[in-house]
A and B are shown apart, each in its own frame.
Chain A
Amino acid sequence: MNTAIEILLVEDNPTDLELTMHALARHNLANKIHVVRDGEEALDFLFCRGPFSDRKFEDAPKVILLDLKLPKVDGLEVLRAIKADSRTRAVPVVIMTSSNQQRDLVEGYQLGVNSYIQKPINFAEFQEVIEKLGYYWLVVNRPPPSLAYR
């Protein structure tokens, strides 16, 4: 169980990725993280296909950190696909984005997102958000049992 992925980070921007990883590492949350770089890869990972065909649905991450602006398949489409399939619907999804557009908020929640966070420009605040986020989803929150992924 220890090798299981706890966080799936969907982030295309290398700089953002570096900063997020930095923040996660500071709080010792970076070791059980898997990074995918665009929407297509995220879906391949979650639906255990392509390079991830060895994965099992039961080994779902405890949380998905999802950027909205992604090459190829964008974040909301990834979210829609996750929430439309009973095998992935139970995975908690947190949208982490620069966008503060009303439209994205509305659609995100319509599609069943579990949390929506706007990345603050101030890095100190960003680190704090990451810390709280990791603590909450990995420690406080009880993840769905593996029975939920079928």
Chain B
Amino acid sequence: MNLNDAPIRKKLTWVIMLTSTVVLVVTAAAFITYEVFAFRQALVQNSQAIAQITAAQSSAAVSFEDEKGCQEILSKLQAEPTILLAALYAKDGKLLACYPASASVVSLPARLPAREYAIEHGTLNISVPVRQDNKTIGALYLEWDLSPAYRRLRWYTGMVIAVLIGSLGIALVISNWLQRRISGPILELAETAGKVSSSRDYSVRAKKYGDDELGHFTDSFNHMLGQIGRQDEALRKNEEQLRTLNTELEDRVTHRTAELAATNQELEAFAYSVSHDLRAPLRHIDGFAQILEEEIQKDPQAARRYLSRIRMSVQNMGRLVDDLLKLSRVGRVELKFETVRLNAIVDEVLADLKPEMANRAIEWRIAKLPSATVDSGLVKQVLTNLISNAIKYTRPRALSVIEIGTEPAEGGTAIFIRDNGVGFNMKYANKLFGVFQRLHRTEDFEGTGVGLATVQRIIRLHGGKIWADAELDKGATFHFTLKGIAAPV
């Protein structure tokens, strides 16, 4: 396994174990080497001391070549059970005695070994001179059995190895515990980092285990998380803001596009209607003028009628042009908002419409209306249109009842103008506010078909809505809202 890819836990255990093993093995090896060396030294010294003592004791017997005496001295070596062989030689190398007595001459070296001692074949062989008056008179040869010593050494080594293994076991346990102290915080950090990156939750914090470098690292990490969290939040907030702005912008674009489309449609309807309705009076003028030309001699009475027709057409054309100008002005002139009492405007309108009410019996039911922040000139135009319509379309009634009041509506308060006039069929309600759209014949109820289109345009400019409900021959009610209308009174 690649050590780089190994988990940090294993790495730490490996480092500790490898170090402890090397140290323990080297220590044990040095220890054993020293022990072996010291043991041998002691053994040799001890053996040599015994050999020298025996040699000293046997000097008299050797000088007289007293074999029996020699034998006696050697037999005392029985006390040392590890002595395998012993022999005393005379000066000329002649064997004087051997131990044990049964030992064959073959197992003894024929000649004295040159070295003072030698270790071979599991035995320690020592030879010492036998002296008298500083003169060498013979030699003593001793052979020691080393196997008990080796056994001891082996046992000793075994013990050292056992201790080594035991120590390694303890080291493993300790390293396991120690590595956890080091790897634990690191793993915790890694886990926290993983959690953060997968869940994008910057509120989690790594647990701090101590005030060491890892502790500082954990602190820094947590601090960093806090910063990232704050930045993330700021970023998210910005994003949200951007999204809101975008949505607003989109809404505005949609709104503008709708407005443009509506304006475009209005313009198209306008152009269409102008081509139709403005041509009509011209045709009429030309028609009656020509008829007049033809008939003026024949029938002066008829001629007068044709002339009045021509004048009517001219006036009609003038009204059309005026109304169209009014309609086109709405929207081109900047709105001038001011807070006004709607009742005051209604009063003004009623005063203005006095001539239209001549010879009419009208019952007015005017409620208390709220104040509104609007372009008062334009709102007056709206009320003039709606009230004069109510007056106009109640003309067939003996008693006209016109009611102006307020009612709750979606998004605030609506103003309504109700009459008991001729009404209209709701089937045609969608045509009410179109330019030049009329639901009545000109000879029944005069009009250009521009008024309600203008009204709708003004209401739209004020962020409001206008709608109507009616029943044929029962009356009509027009409702409108304006953004600037104050809360219900």
CA distance A122 to B313 in the complex (A): 15
For residue B367, give the distance in angstroms from its CB to the closest CB of chain A: 32
Chain B residues lying within 8 Å of A73, measured Cβ to Cβ, are: 428
Provided the pairs A12-B442, A13-B442, A123-B290 are in contact, do residues A69 and B276 lie with their beta carbons within 8 angstroms? yes
Verify if B291 is at the interface (C-beta below 8 Å from A).
yes
Interface contact B442-A124, CB-CB below 8 Å: no
Q: Which of A19, A101, A120, A126 contacts B272 (CB 8 A)?
A: A101
Q: Which of B276, B286, B437, B443 contacts A121 (CB 8 A)?
A: B286
Q: Which of A13, A38, A71 contacts B280 (CB 8 A)?
A: A13
Interface contact A14-B442, CB-CB below 8 Å: yes
Name the residue on B nearest A14 (C-beta): B443
Interface contact A99-B272, CB-CB below 8 Å: yes
Provided the pairs A72-B425, A123-B286 are in contact, do residues A15 and B291 lie with their beta carbons within 8 angstroms? no
Chain A residues lying within 8 Å of B431, measured Cβ to Cβ, are: 72
Give B285-311 interface residues, CB cut-off 8 Å to A: 286-291, 309
Chain B residues lying within 8 Å of A120, measured Cβ to Cβ, are: 283
Interface contact B425-A19, CB-CB below 8 Å: no
Chain B residues lying within 8 Å of A99, measured Cβ to Cβ, are: 272, 275-276
For residue A108, give the distance in angstroms from its CB to the closest CB of chain B: 14
Verify if A68 is at the interface (C-beta below 8 Å from B).
yes
Interface contact B291-A123, CB-CB below 8 Å: yes
CA distance A124 to B287 in the complex (A): 8
CA distance A68 to B272 in the complex (A): 11
Verify if A89 is at the interface (C-beta below 8 Å from B).
no
For residue B372, give the distance in angstroms from its CB to the closest CB of chain A: 33
Q: Which of B289, B312, B425, B428 contacts A15 (CB 8 A)?
A: B312
Provided the pairs A15-B313, A16-B284, A101-B272 are in contact, do residues A121 and B279 lie with their beta carbons within 8 angstroms? yes
Interface contact A100-B275, CB-CB below 8 Å: yes
Name the residue on B nearest A101 (C-beta): B272
Chain B residues lying within 8 Å of A119, measured Cβ to Cβ, are: 279, 283
Give A5-32 interface residues, CB cut-off 8 Å to B: 12-16, 18-19, 22
Verify if B360 is at the interface (C-beta below 8 Å from A).
no
Interface contact B439-A72, CB-CB below 8 Å: yes
Chain B residues lying within 8 Å of A16, measured Cβ to Cβ, are: 280, 283-284
For residue B116, give the distance in angstroms from its CB to the closest CB of chain A: 139
Give A118-140 interface residues, CB cut-off 8 Å to B: 119-124, 126
CA distance A122 to B288 in the complex (A): 11
Interface contact B279-A98, CB-CB below 8 Å: yes
Chain B residues lying within 8 Å of A98, measured Cβ to Cβ, are: 275-277, 279-280, 283
B427-460 CB mask vs A (1 if < 8 Å, else 0) is 1100100001111111100000000000000000
Q: How many A residues touch B, CB cutoff 8 Å?
A: 29
Interface centre among B276, B288, B312, B431 (most CB of A within 10 A): B276
How big is the B interface, by class?
Answer: 20 to 34
CA distance A111 to B442 in the complex (A): 28
CA distance A120 to B280 in the complex (A): 10
For residue A133, give the distance in angstroms from its CB to the closest CB of chain B: 16
B134-150 CB mask vs A (1 if < 8 Å, else 0) is 00000000000000000
Interface centre among A97, A98, A103 (most CB of B within 10 A): A98
Interface contact B441-A19, CB-CB below 8 Å: no
Interface centre among A19, A37, A38 (most CB of B within 10 A): A19
Verify if B242 is at the interface (C-beta below 8 Å from A).
no
Chain A residues lying within 8 Å of B443, measured Cβ to Cβ, are: 14
B252-292 CB mask vs A (1 if < 8 Å, else 0) is 00000000000000000000110111011011101111110
B307-332 CB mask vs A (1 if < 8 Å, else 0) is 00100110000000000000000000
Interface centre among B291, B313, B439 (most CB of A within 10 A): B291
Give A52-70 interface residues, CB cut-off 8 Å to B: 68-69
CA distance A121 to B279 in the complex (A): 7
Interface centre among B273, B277, B286, B436 (most CB of A within 10 A): B286
Chain B residues lying within 8 Å of A14, measured Cβ to Cβ, are: 441-443
Q: Which of B272, B275, B290, B436 contacts A124 (CB 8 A)?
A: B290
CA distance A76 to B436 in the complex (A): 16
Chain A residues lying within 8 Å of B313, measured Cβ to Cβ, are: 15
Interface contact B277-A126, CB-CB below 8 Å: no
Provided the pairs A71-B439, A72-B425 are in contact, do residues A15 and B309 lie with their beta carbons within 8 angstroms? yes
Chain A residues lying within 8 Å of B437, measured Cβ to Cβ, are: 71
Q: Which of B276, B284, B428 contacts A72 (CB 8 A)?
A: B428
Interface contact B291-A101, CB-CB below 8 Å: no
Interface contact A71-B291, CB-CB below 8 Å: no
Name the residue on A nearest B440 (C-beta): A71
CA distance A19 to B436 in the complex (A): 21
**Known A19-B287, A40-B425, A123-B283; 13 more pairs at CB < 8 Å:** A15-B313, A19-B283, A19-B288, A71-B437, A72-B425, A72-B431, A73-B428, A98-B277, A98-B279, A121-B283, A121-B286, A123-B286, A126-B283
28 inter-chain pairs at a CB distance below 8 angstroms, sorted by A residue, are A12-B438, A12-B441, A12-B442, A13-B442, A14-B441, A14-B442, A15-B280, A19-B283, A19-B284, A19-B288, A71-B438, A71-B440, A71-B441, A72-B425, A72-B439, A73-B428, A98-B275, A98-B276, A99-B276, A100-B275, A101-B272, A103-B272, A119-B283, A121-B279, A121-B283, A123-B283, A123-B287, A126-B283
